[in-house]
Chain A
């Protein structure tokens, strides 16, 4: 199953919005959401610190701060 990774942390309201956007698309498109708390890993924290939420597909970062639902839907429909 296709896995969409959400880099986030607690107390981040943009992360809450991004998660809700992904969950909204999940029922339609049937992908898996893998959420990573960047504070659990120093390298991730350094990489994503002020940019979360970051949404990635494999090694490719798709969005930071906000999820463009239309663009994500198109992207996933093309590979699912």
Chain B
């Protein structure tokens, strides 16, 4: 079975062709850099650019997979959560592509897609690799931060989620406060390279204290995340410094702030590993590209799986990966499907 998958939940226009054994035949991502100058994604502009790009991206994904639309057996698409206007572009396109040939359509939850990125087969270190359940999955991106207990291919149980900002959002907003561009994660990480992660103390809202970084017991054994206090703490620290100090200590601020975000993610992941006794952790979302997080994950006494960056950030291959294990709707039952902005599809 050949799956054509689409993903347009935020500002990346994505299409991929995936086989039912999890092989990725193409994975095309068109990132909309137009948002950079506004310091964040503008939903209306994202929707318009998806409209402009989606047919081109679909055509490229078919071409790279060396197939035509006639060889597609199933169309998969992200139904939510995400920006509704952006999702509707992908959903409408997928419906049209499927309906034209009366193909079935699989409507996929974006977060299940991030989980399913781990089931995809990709080449690494000379071997072909995939990660099978059960495992714990940490998803950290600009729009989502959660810990999922993945016991099978069909779904997951949410163990904890952010109560306010997502981890990637904390990176972006921190970067903006430090006068860096958008997207801020990579810029903040580069600035942090020359800084001292222990120079400034930030609240980590951890459930157990780890020396040096001021972790507090704000959440007990909760596995939920919170980054709003951390962001406010950076704002106050910047206010306390003179302009010269802010400039001279920018690297230390970036390093300490980054360390606090990573520490918070690691504390929750370690706590969840303790509670579930799974001993296996997968990581997804754009924040998985962060070098400090990867360094800390490598020190974790568990089997850690981080897919290639292109499968961690938003992509359509992961949607195709999830479609392998999702009951598809036959034609024409999917024509009335709507997108959803928040929450999760019930299992």
Q: Which positions in A face B, CB cutoff 8 Å?
A: 13-14, 50, 65-66
Q: Given A50-B49, A50-B52, 9 more contacts at CB 8 Å?
A: A13-B44, A14-B44, A50-B45, A50-B48, A50-B51, A65-B38, A65-B42, A65-B45, A66-B38
Q: How far is the CB of A4 from chain B (nearest CB, A)?
A: 22
Q: How far is the CB of B47 from chain A (nearest CB, A)?
A: 9
Cα–Cα distance between A26 and B38 once the two chains are bound (Å): 25
Chain A facing B: main interface SS: loop
Q: How far is the CB of B184 from chain A (nearest CB, A)?
A: 20
Cross-chain pairs A/B with CB under 8 angstroms, 11 sampled: A13-B44, A14-B44, A50-B45, A50-B48, A50-B49, A50-B51, A50-B52, A65-B38, A65-B42, A65-B45, A66-B38
Q: How far is the CB of B43 from chain A (nearest CB, A)?
A: 10
Specify the chain A residue showing the minimal Cβ separation from B44.
Answer: A14
B259-276 vs A: 1/0 string, CB under 8 Å? 000000000000000000
Q: How far is the CB of A51 from chain B (nearest CB, A)?
A: 8
Q: How far is the CB of B65 from chain A (nearest CB, A)?
A: 28
Q: How far is the CB of B201 from chain A (nearest CB, A)?
A: 37
In the assembled complex, which residues on chain A have CB atoms less than 8 Å from the CB atom of B49?
50
Cα–Cα distance between A50 and B52 once the two chains are bound (Å): 8
Specify the chain A residue showing the minimal Cβ separation from B51.
Answer: A50
In the assembled complex, which residues on chain B have CB atoms less than 8 Å from the CB atom of A66?
38
In the assembled complex, which residues on chain A have CB atoms less than 8 Å from the CB atom of B38?
65-66
Q: How far is the CB of B207 from chain A (nearest CB, A)?
A: 42
Cα–Cα distance between A50 and B51 once the two chains are bound (Å): 9
Q: How far is the CB of B89 from chain A (nearest CB, A)?
A: 12
In the assembled complex, which residues on chain A have CB atoms less than 8 Å from the CB atom of B45?
50, 65
Q: How far is the CB of B204 from chain A (nearest CB, A)?
A: 36
Q: Give the one of B38, B45, B51 with max A CB within 10 A.
A: B45
Cα–Cα distance between A13 and B52 once the two chains are bound (Å): 19
Q: How far is the CB of A46 from chain B (nearest CB, A)?
A: 12
Cα–Cα distance between A14 and B47 once the two chains are bound (Å): 13
Cα–Cα distance between A66 and B35 once the two chains are bound (Å): 12
In the assembled complex, which residues on chain B have CB atoms less than 8 Å from the CB atom of A13?
44
B31-47 vs A: 1/0 string, CB under 8 Å? 00000001000101100
Q: How far is the CB of A12 from chain B (nearest CB, A)?
A: 8
Specify the chain A residue showing the minimal Cβ separation from B42.
Answer: A65
Cα–Cα distance between A13 and B45 once the two chains are bound (Å): 11
Q: How far is the CB of B38 from chain A (nearest CB, A)?
A: 7
Cα–Cα distance between A66 and B37 once the two chains are bound (Å): 11
In the assembled complex, which residues on chain B have CB atoms less than 8 Å from the CB atom of A65?
38, 42, 45
In the assembled complex, which residues on chain A have CB atoms less than 8 Å from the CB atom of B51?
50
Q: How far is the CB of B193 from chain A (nearest CB, A)?
A: 34
Q: How far is the CB of A65 from chain B (nearest CB, A)?
A: 6
The A-contacting residues of B in range 42-91, CB under 8 angstroms, are 42, 44-45, 48-49, 51-52
Specify the chain B residue showing the minimal Cβ separation from A66.
Answer: B38
Specify the chain B residue showing the minimal Cβ separation from A50.
Answer: B48
The A-contacting residues of B in range 8-41, CB under 8 angstroms, are 38
User: Which 8 residue pairs across A and B have the least CB separation, nearest first?
Assistant: A50-B48, A14-B44, A50-B52, A65-B45, A50-B49, A13-B44, A65-B42, A50-B51
In the assembled complex, which residues on chain A have CB atoms less than 8 Å from the CB atom of B44?
13-14
Cα–Cα distance between A13 and B85 once the two chains are bound (Å): 13
Specify the chain B residue showing the minimal Cβ separation from A52.
Answer: B48
Cα–Cα distance between A23 and B38 once the two chains are bound (Å): 23
In the assembled complex, which residues on chain B have CB atoms less than 8 Å from the CB atom of A50?
45, 48-49, 51-52
